[in-house]
Amino acid sequence: MTPRKEKKSSSSAQSNPSPKASDDDLLVASTNPPGAVLSPERFAALEKVGQHSSDLMIVIDAEGIVVYANPVALKTFGKTFKDGIGTNAFDYLHPDDLERVAVRFIDLLRTPGASIIDTVKSVTESGEVREIEIVSTNWLDNEAVQGIIINGRDVTEHRQYVAQLMAHEQRFRLAFEDNMAPMICTDLDDNIITANDAFCQMVGYSKEELLGHDSKIFTFPEDVGITEESHRRATTGDGGPARYTKRYMRKDGRVIYVEVSRSPARDADGKTLYFIISERDITEERALTARLSHQALHDPLTGLANRALFLDRLSQAHARVIRQGGMGAVLLLDLDDFKGVNDTHGHLIGDQLLVAIARRLEEVSRSTDTLCRFGGDEFLYLADGLTSPEEAEQVARRLLVALAEPFSVAGIHIGQHASIGVVVWDASRNDSAEIVQDADVALYEAKRQGKGHHVVFTSGMHQQAVSHFALVQDLRRALSAGEIVMHYQPIVDLNVTGVVGFEALMRWDHPERGWVPPTVFIPLAEQSDLILELGAFALHEAATAAGTWLPDAPDAARPYVTVNLSAHQFRDPGLVSMIEKVLETSGLSPHRLIIEITESVTLLYIAETLSVMEDLNRLGIGFALDDFGTGYSSLSYLALMRPRIIKIDQSFVSPSLESFRNDTLLEAIVTLGHNLDMTMLAEGIETHAQLQRLQALGCELGQGFLFSRAVPARYVAAMLARLPGSWKSLKNP
């Protein structure tokens, strides 16, 4: 049974609906088509149209009763044929629209042939609200027939879709306009169709100035190609999102870097409609990254390469030498006693000095070489492409000469010398990290040999360095373990051959090595702060011991004690207060303390030394200039320092060097001292002959094995008890 057939039969028997029509049958038929409205012919015509229409079609009579509903209409309201026909159409209207539609329909009924268009809310059988766009037409084509034919379309989904679309559009507009990120949209010719405020701010142009133009107006001229290429790809290639970086020239002329993300906006068919371009000003970010990467590879204070960059260049140079042959060198430069600068003048001056040193070293560096601050007061120099080891030594000398002139920092003149360890390497070396270690070993050796010069690494140095290192470690322990002691060597008045004082000399009573001489461990201690501890210890011990010494005759002066001080101690700002404290705790009169300093020490840091000497002189402490004649004697400095005693180095006195020349020098030195009104002391007197000669020259004081070696403190009293002149009976040792 086809619905059509059924409907036809129904329409012919108007009051007798087909028994076969079921509730589920949504097809059109009429149970009771009011003949007044729909003649069978009309009904048939309507049905023909309505059956195939994709729109809903309803015919109502003047009372609003449904006389015809096509399948789409029935389906829309969830009605069956049976339920639909004969019901009141106004029952389907949503209460909101009821009155309005009723008024309009009444109007419509008054005007035959008229139509109204409206969108109404209706309620389906299941209670669902649907929106229907309707065209309602007065059906009155003859006086007898009153009714309205309603053509409609369920636009619920469409309306929802449009609403969504609008909300979407609204959201996009807000997201675009108010976006903090600069954004523009461009058409397919890359002309700007819209730009947000952030974008205008970024490029410094107003919206009006931008619209309709392409990005060339603000693109940095050299980067126009980047935009063109991106646009070409976007419109020809796969057209997917793209990201690139380019420069813009703002309206004010400032150049900025931007990161551009371009995505196509497409229609449902995938056709590109326009481009959405979001941008980011990365100028500061780039600058920061550049700064950070510079910082990562450079020393912030001096701006020189840092350790990481140096090691990288070294391994590159190393690899090059392995490939191409030749040789290179690494020079490790360490400032001598730099700590003293910090201690004396403060870190600010210390830092400025480091910068000044970096500039001097830079001036004499080859552009192909790498100069680096290795940390603290250490600099590394990589000499690349050498043809002989001698060239490396030339570099070392050049660097040392660069530092020879004193520096002027904040109006202060500071002399700063350095030591250099040199390693020359070629393809046979297989580890670049090891090269730096070897430079350190050579540097250590340079320091040990007396600073201010360079030493080239040799394989034998390694073992030596290791044992030195072990010794320094051991020395730290020794001091607290009480293995360091002071011995005292008498200072004799050569006229009466009586003891007038003692020189305190340090000894290390090593549990395995036996007595370790100070000439071995003092230079090691001088490479660290350990020397300050040892120096304080010596002063404290010597002053405490001397506090107990009494003169050998009741009317004679009490013997004095001389204590050797290292150069490092003179650069320690705590020196003067430390000595004051020592005098206080030991109760020793300052007049009985004489400090021995060597010429080389005083010459290196003349200004600092002189000022400390002045302070100590004021306390009443005297000075002895030790090892006179071995350093770079300068008479002007001698006059400046005015030491109480000049100790003539034993090389002028010792028998091995006894010669006419030495004798003449000895005489000259003694005469010089006397002319300057200073007391002369001869070191290393071992024979009666030497003693007599010195006596003949009028040298006042002497020390040496002829009288005594340095002895432990407990023998001092016995030595003092000897009457003057008793030394004369001494035999040669």
Q: CA 575, CA 344: separation in Å to the nearest integer? A: 11
In terms of CB distance, is 377 or 596 closer to Mg ion?
Answer: 596
Residues with Cβ within 8 Å of residue 384, at least 6 apart in sequence:
317, 320, 328, 368, 369, 370
The angle subtended at Cα 556 by Cα 550 and Cα 561, nearest 5°, is: 50
Q: CA 219, CA 239: separation in Å to the nearest integer? A: 22
Q: CA 701, CA 674: separation in Å to the nearest integer? A: 13
Member of 365, 370, 566, 609 binding ligand C2E (CB under 6 A): 566
Which helix (H) or strand (E) segment is 234 a member of? helix 224-236
587 binds ligand C2E (CB under 6 A): no
690 binds ligand C2E (CB under 6 A): no
686 binds ligand C2E (CB under 6 A): yes
Q: Which two tokens stand for residue 17?
A: 């609906």
Judge contact between 478 and 692, C-beta under 8 A.
no
352 binds Mg ion (CB under 5 A): no
Binders of ligand C2E among residues 638 to 657 (CB under 6 A) are 650
Q: Is 228 left (phi over 0), alpha (psi -120 to 50) or beta?
A: alpha
Instruction: Quote the crossing angle between the two packed helices 518-525 and 432-448, to the nearest 10°.
Output: 120
Member of 350, 631, 684, 702 binding ligand C2E (CB under 6 A): 684
Residues with Cβ within 8 Å of residue 685, at least 6 apart in sequence:
653, 691, 694, 702, 703, 704, 705, 706, 707
Stretch that binds ligand C2E, among 45-53, 92-100, 513-521, 637-645 (CB under 6 A): 513-521
Contact partner at residue 352 from ligand C2E, Mg ion, none, CB < 5 to 8 Å by partner kind = none
Binders of Mg ion among residues 557 to 576 (CB under 5 A) are 564
281 binds Mg ion (CB under 5 A): no
518 binds ligand C2E (CB under 6 A): yes
Contact partner at residue 18 from Mg ion, ligand C2E, none, CB < 5 to 8 Å by partner kind = none
Query: Phi and psi (nearest 5°) for 499?
Result: -75, 125
- 469-473's contacts with Cβ under 8 Å and 24+ in sequence apart are 471/520, 471/521, 471/524, 472/524, 472/525, 472/527, 472/528, 472/530
609 binds ligand C2E (CB under 6 A): no
10 binds Mg ion (CB under 5 A): no
Binders of ligand C2E among residues 521 to 540 (CB under 6 A) are 522, 535, 538
Stretch that binds ligand C2E, among 167-175, 419-427, 560-568, 717-725 (CB under 6 A): 560-568
626 binds ligand C2E (CB under 6 A): yes
CA distances from 664 to 351, 645, 677 (A): 48, 21, 20
Member of 183, 377, 703, 713 binding ligand C2E (CB under 6 A): 703
In terms of CB distance, is 108 or 491 closer to ligand C2E?
Answer: 491
Q: CA 203, CA 254: separation in Å to the nearest integer? A: 9
Q: How many residues bind ligand C2E (CB under 6 A)?
A: 24
In terms of CB distance, is 421 or 498 closer to ligand C2E?
Answer: 498
Q: Is the dihedral of CA 202, 203, 206, 210 positive or negative?
A: negative
Judge contact between 300 and 291, C-beta under 8 A.
no
596 binds Mg ion (CB under 5 A): yes
705 binds ligand C2E (CB under 6 A): yes
CB of 568 to ligand C2E, least distance (A): 9
Contact partner at residue 646 from ligand C2E, Mg ion, none, CB < 5 to 8 Å by partner kind = none
Judge contact between 446 and 420, C-beta under 8 A.
yes
Binders of Mg ion among residues 610 to 649 (CB under 5 A) are 626-627
In terms of CB distance, is 248 or 488 closer to Mg ion?
Answer: 488
Stretch that binds ligand C2E, among 65-73, 433-441, 454-462, 682-690 (CB under 6 A): 682-690
370 binds ligand C2E (CB under 6 A): no
CB of 500 to Mg ion, least distance (A): 16
Judge contact between 625 and 644, C-beta under 8 A.
no
699 binds ligand C2E (CB under 6 A): no
**Burial label, 369 (beta-carbon count in 10 A; 0-12, 13-18, 19+):** middle
Contact partner at residue 684 from ligand C2E, Mg ion, none, CB < 5 to 8 Å by partner kind = ligand C2E
Binding site for Mg ion (CB under 5 A): 564, 596, 626-627, 683
Binding site for ligand C2E (CB under 6 A): 489, 505-506, 517-519, 522, 535, 538, 564-566, 596, 626-627, 650, 683-686, 703-705, 710
